[in-house]
Amino acid sequence: MSVINELKDLMLNIGIDERIVNEVDPDQVLAKHVLDSVDYTAFIVAIEERYGIKVTDRYALKLRTLNDFKNYIDAY
């Protein structure tokens, strides 16, 4: 499974509506109509637990799209 699809699975796990997840483009800004502040923090936590990584505060303010998260995970 690609990282993007894994990330979409994590979004489903934290309770994001399936229709919204299916329509998310990898370059779409998640703060626009996809993740609110509660979802966003839960998504970061889910990524940290799934990949065993730490998303630092400095990077958290720069990770806006699924591709941003994918690139961060790839480079970790």
Partner 1 sequence: MGASNAAVELLAGNLELHPDKIAYFCADKALSYRELEKESLRFAHLLKKKGITPQELVLVALPDCIAFPVAFLGCLLSGAVAVAVSPDIDGEELAHIVGDCGARLLVSHKEYAIAHSAIGDGLKVVTCDDLGPLEDFNTCADFDRPFQPSADDFAYMLYSSGSTGRPKGVPHLHQSLLLPCDLVGKAVLEITCEDVIFSTSKFFFAYGLINSLALPLRFGAMAILHPEKPDPLTVLDIIHRHKPSIFFSVPTIFTQIILSCTDRELKLPMRLCCSAGEALPRLLFEEWRWLTGLEILDGIGSTEMAYHFITNFPGRAVAGSTGNLVPGFRARLVDEDGNDVPPGCEGNLLISGPTRTPRYWNLPGKSAESMLPDGFIKTGDIFVEKEGFYYFRGRSDDMIKSGGCWVSPFTVEDVLRTHPAVADCVVAALSVGTINRPGAFVVLNPGTEQTPALAGELRRHVRERLPDYMCPIRFRFMAELPRTTTGKIQRFKLREQFAL
Q: In angstroms, what is the minimal distance from the CB of 2 to partner 1?
A: 18
* Nearer of residues 23 and 45 to partner 1, judged by Cβ: 45
- Show the DSSP H helices in 1-76 as ranges: 3-13, 18-23, 37-51, 57-60, 66-75
Residue 32 or residue 74: which is nearer to partner 1 going by CB? Answer: 32
By CB under 8 A, name the binding residues for partner 1.
10, 12-15, 29-33, 36-38, 40-42, 44-46, 49-50, 55, 57-58, 60-61, 64
Phi-psi region of 17 (alpha: psi -120 to 50; beta: other; left: phi over 0): beta
Residue with smaller CB distance to partner 1, 4 or 65:
65
Residue 30 is classified by DSSP as T
Q: How far is the CB of 31 from partner 1 (least distance, A)?
A: 4
Angle at 32 between CA 28 and CA 33, to 5 degrees: 105
